[in-house]
């Protein structure tokens, strides 16, 4: 009986010691987390549409965001609030004091304005709708002359002229490749595509010989910068290479 009581006391003592050690470890870990993992620097990459300060504000959005480990684990297991024109945001822990925020923006190739929605409909390189917004994003051309039946987010633009979408996607991608993205693209028909660069209008004509036309445009644009007028390329071909610029008085 006495021996059993002693064994019982030893077990209780051992349990209490283990509990105290565990509590001490937890306390030390808590001190480390509180005192070591503090946000002192934030590195934002991949953002073009939004300033880094805006992205940082969206990520560090609650009272515990001073703790870098908390922020990292928060976005490791939970998705961030949806942000217009942003596909995903990844948060990493570079050091205990430094967070990294990698921004992946939606690939915007152009937009059309829909009266029925009162919104701009942005689409990607494959013609899929990626965003509808009243905002106008700099560097993304507005395309006019298209009739869209309906708009469904993340589905392909439902245009009356199916061929027009294919041609315009080719045009916008080629112009983007050569850093010649215009402010607007006016599509009247397959033989009448016009580009607007401020006071300069480029009458591209059809999308035939597209790459060659855009290469020539790349060479010409620096020479007519600051002018006002229309550059006629609609008759350009491999056989007929005449290009004229009709200057207009400002």
One domain, residues 139 and 241: yes
One domain, residues 167 and 230: yes
One domain, residues 19 and 142: no
One domain, residues 76 and 93: yes
Residue finishing a domain among 81, 105, 129: 105
Written as tens digits, the pLDDT of the chain (250 aa) is 555 555 665 665 565 556 666 665 666 566 665 667 888 999 999 998 889 999 999 999 889 888 888 899 999 888 888 888 898 999 999 998 999 999 998 888 899 999 888 999 999 988 899 999 999 998 899 999 888 888 888 898 888 787 888 888 899 999 999 999 999 999 988 788 999 999 999 999 988 889 999 999 999 999 988 899 999 998 887 777 788 898 886 6
Element (H, E) at 64: none
Cβ atoms within 10 Å of 23's Cβ, excluding its own: 10
* Structural domain harbouring 7: 1-36
pTM for the full model? 0.75
201: domain CATH number? 3.40.50
Total number of domains in the chain: 3
51: domain CATH number? 3.10.20
Pairing mode of beta strands 119-123, 110-114: antiparallel
Q: Taking the CA atoms of 196, 200, 206 and 209 in sequence, report the sign of the dihedral they define.
A: negative
One domain, residues 68 and 129: no
One domain, residues 168 and 224: yes
Residue finishing a domain among 105, 125, 153: 105
One domain, residues 151 and 206: yes
């Amino acid at each position: 009986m006495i021996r059993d009581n002693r064994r019982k006391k030893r077990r209780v003592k051992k349990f209490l010691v283990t509990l105290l050690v565990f509590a001490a470890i937890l306390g030390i870990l808590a001190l480390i987390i509180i005192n070591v993992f503090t946000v002192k620097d934030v590195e934002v990459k991949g953002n073009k549409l939004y300033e880094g300060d805006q992205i940082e504000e969206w990520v560090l959005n609650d009272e515990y965001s001073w703790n870098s480990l908390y922020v990292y684990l928060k976005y490791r297991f939970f998705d961030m609030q949806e942000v217009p024109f942003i596909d995903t945001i990844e948060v990493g822990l570079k050091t205990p004091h430094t967070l990294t925020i990698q921004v992946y923006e939606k690939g915007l190739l152009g937009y059309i304005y829909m009266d029925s929605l009162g919104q701009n409909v942005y689409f990607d390189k494959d013609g899929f709708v990626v965003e509808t917004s009243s905002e106008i994003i700099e560097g993304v051309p507005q395309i006019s002359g298209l009739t869209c039946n309906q708009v469904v987010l993340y589905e392909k633009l439902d245009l009356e002229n199916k061929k027009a979408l294919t041609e315009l996607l080719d045009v916008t991608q080629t112009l983007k490749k050569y850093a010649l993205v215009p402010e607007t693209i006016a599509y009247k028909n397959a033989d009448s595509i016009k580009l607007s660069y401020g006071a300069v209008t480029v009458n591209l004509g059809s999308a035939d010989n597209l790459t060659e036309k855009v290469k020539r445009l790349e060479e010409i644009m620096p020479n007519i910068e600051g002018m006002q007028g229309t550059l006629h390329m609609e008759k350009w071909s491999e056989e007929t290479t005449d290009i004229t610029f009709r200057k207009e008085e400002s």
